[in-house]
Chains A and B, each alone.
Chain A
Amino acid sequence: DGGITQSPKYLFRKEGQNVTLSCEQNLNHDAMYWYRQDPGQGLRLIYYSQIVNDFQKGDIAEGYSVSREKKESFPLTVTSAQKNPTAFYLCASIYRGGAFFGQGTRLTVV
């Protein structure tokens, strides 16, 4: 089945630790996006990539980093510089007709 796969579903991070969230798609879409969602809130754009080996900062990129070495993969690293990382993270691949979303990763700082 075609779609977006995010892993892990739940992730716990210790203070000062970097963690990487995985996002893989087999839809052959060029564009991939990372959003952050806080409880009861909308989606805020972290980073997006329109093509392999290229990506742009979204509205809240500070404390995050990404890479796009393959069309299928767009991992997000939450660095220790992100002071309030506890949130629900959603990855999406975008095409002309809309967006396909993964099921999300819930990150909690312990």
Chain B
Amino acid sequence: SQQGEEDPQALSIQEGENATMNCSYKTSINNLQWYRQNSGRGLVHLILIRSNEREKHSGRLRVTLDTSKKSSSLLITASRAADTASYFCATDSPSGTYKYIFGTGTRLKVLA
């Protein structure tokens, strides 16, 4: 089954720095989404980018999508300690069944 794989697995940065994490996937997609998970909690939807889009912004988040390379990146600018969490990408199937496949996540730690 198609699966997103995030890179790096873990990232530690200082507050105020930018954090970049990447996601690669295997098959064609309808859209790609990024989620955030605080420790021991459910996932929260951050942003969705459609297969015909190349870049999308939401506040301090910037997502890019390169369908030719089957990859996406999530940039968090001016990071804060509260951004400490795991970040997952998810892809859905073009078949329209809403079967979302999640990657293994990037654990981000922002040091104050």
Q: How many residues of B contact A (CB 8 A)?
A: 22
Interchain CB contact under 8 A, A98 and B42: no
Interchain CB contact under 8 A, A100 and B45: yes
Number of A-B contacts (CB under 8 A): 55
CB-contact partner of B45 in A33, A59, A99, A106, under 8 A? A99
Using a CB–CB cutoff of 8 Å, the interface residues on chain B facing chain A are 1, 33, 35, 40-45, 48, 88, 90, 97-105, 107
A73 interfacial contact with B, CB 8 Å: no
Nearest chain B residue, comparing its CB with the CB of A90: B42
CB-contact partner of B104 in A42, A90, A96, under 8 A? A42
What's the least CB distance linking A46 to chain B, in Å? 12
CB-contact partner of B100 in A6, A33, A50, A59, under 8 A? A33
CB-contact partner of A50 in B40, B88, B98, B105, under 8 A? B98
Interchain CB contact under 8 A, A31 and B103: no
Interchain CB contact under 8 A, B104 and A98: no
